[in-house]
Amino acid sequence: MHSKAAVTGVTVSFGERFAASEQFDAIFKEGMSLVERTAAYLDGSGRKQARLLPRPVSVLYSTESMRLTTRLLELASWLMIGRAQKEGEITAQQARSKRERVKLRPSARPSHIKGFADLPQELQRLIEESHALNDRIMRLDRAIEVVAAEAVGADNPVGAQVTRLEEAFAKPRRALGA
């Protein structure tokens, strides 16, 4: 069975479809819940627990809580862009442009760091949840970008190859300058 888009030759944006899907709603709720739970923990019981930690673990707590907060801010930004697109507040192209400014990156798991096991269990759990969410959103972001790049180059095979080459060579140069 052919979809209407396939029959009429209309390109369907994976980003638009995903943003409008129940899967997006689920990941949005999960992400925002993680942000809220983390904020509540860090402002509440986490703050109290941090005061009781030995000095080296206290420094690690501060470092990891800042990394956690930064990671969650980036993920929340990505999710809010998707929601704005879903709500029709921005176009797919505007969403893509805004997503490019969000600094999603693979993050090293801190569980191998000396002293990580000495951190409060709740902080460890929040950190691990944030890494899992980061991994999922990065996969989605890459899928959205690949599909968008293929759609742009679908009518022009040379353009598609040029786009792939630009993407392959542009990202490492940015990483070296960063």
List pLDDT tens digits, range 25-38: 899 999 999 999 99
| Residue 1 included in any domain | no
| Residue 156 included in any domain | no
Closest CA to 46 of 129, 125, 127, 120: 120
What's the confidence (pLDDT) of residue 86? 87
Q: How far is CA 5 from the centre of its chain?
A: 29
| Residue 140 included in any domain | yes
| Residue 87 included in any domain | yes
Q: What is the DSSP letter of 89?
A: S
What's the confidence (pLDDT) of residue 22? 81
Structure tokens at 135: 């991994």
| Residue 112 included in any domain | yes
What's the confidence (pLDDT) of residue 109? 82
| Residue 48 included in any domain | yes
Q: At which residue do the structure tokens 């707590």 appear?
A: 61
First to last CA, the chain: 48
| Residue 33 included in any domain | yes
| Residue 2 included in any domain | no
Contacts (Cβ under 8 Å, ≥6 apart) of 8: none
Could you say which residues of the chain have pLDDT below 50? 1-7, 10, 12, 171-178
pTM of the model as a whole: 0.72
The number of folded domains in the chain is: 1
Residue 19: CATH number of its domain: 1.10.8.930
The residue range of the domain holding 126 is 11-145
